[in-house]
Structure 1
Amino acid sequence: MLVASGEIDLTNVDAFTLALSTAATGSDGAVLVDLSAVEYLDSAAINALAAHADRIELVAHPILMPVLKVSGLTELTAIVTAPPTEKR
């Protein structure tokens, strides 16, 4: 399982991509990528996820679902919407 939080964008996508590649390479099946604590993805992050779509399954924060649908990722890999968390 790979867990990410905060924002995934051009400033940190290389580390995210490396983590995706490492997790996918070391796994016999699909890697669960938990994005339930991620609040923002840019196109670089979407491209990283798409490149690994055949080897991952996603759990995504509800705020990410529109961009995941528009990008076509919902057609490439399994995505489950995480329950929303309360803001304190």
Structure 2
Amino acid sequence: MSTPMSLTPSRRSDGSTLLTVVGEIDMSNTDALAAAIETTDGPVVIDLTAVEYLDSAGLSVLFNHSDRIELIASPLLAPVLSISGLADLITVHGLDTP
């Protein structure tokens, strides 16, 4: 059974793609996340502020697309993004907000 996750694509004012993710990202739904990233043109900003859980399978998808993504994340995900090294590899906005 797949873990609940929703993906909503939209455009930012600069024309880049914004992909808003809500719920949990785990091995049961990473194919949908990967497909959403892969079917967009150009750079993708991924908003993870409403993500409550991110496992290693989800991190793997983000690492695989690190050459074209930027993240917006809540401080809740800071430990996962920092310890994994992803935060050192790509731009991540919002990790140090109170």
* Distance in structure 1 (CA, Å) of the matches to 2:56 and 2:62: 10
The answer as to 2:12 corresponding to 1:12 is: no
Identity %: 49
* Structure-2-length-normalised TM-score: 0.76
CA offsets, 1:15-45, max 9 Å, x none?
A: 011111112xx12xx2111001101100000
Superposed CA RMSD: 1.4
> What is the aligned residue count?
80
Flag structure 2 segments of 5+ consecutive residues without an equivalent: 1-17
Q: Which has the higher strand share?
A: 2
Residue type of the partner of 2:52? E
Aligned to 2:58: 45
Residue type of the partner of 1:22? T
- The structure with higher relative contact order (CA 8 Å, sep 6+) is 1
* Distance in structure 2 (CA, Å) of the matches to 1:52 and 1:6: 20
* Structure-1-length-normalised TM-score: 0.84
Moved over 6 A (4+): none
The answer as to 2:76 corresponding to 1:63 is: yes
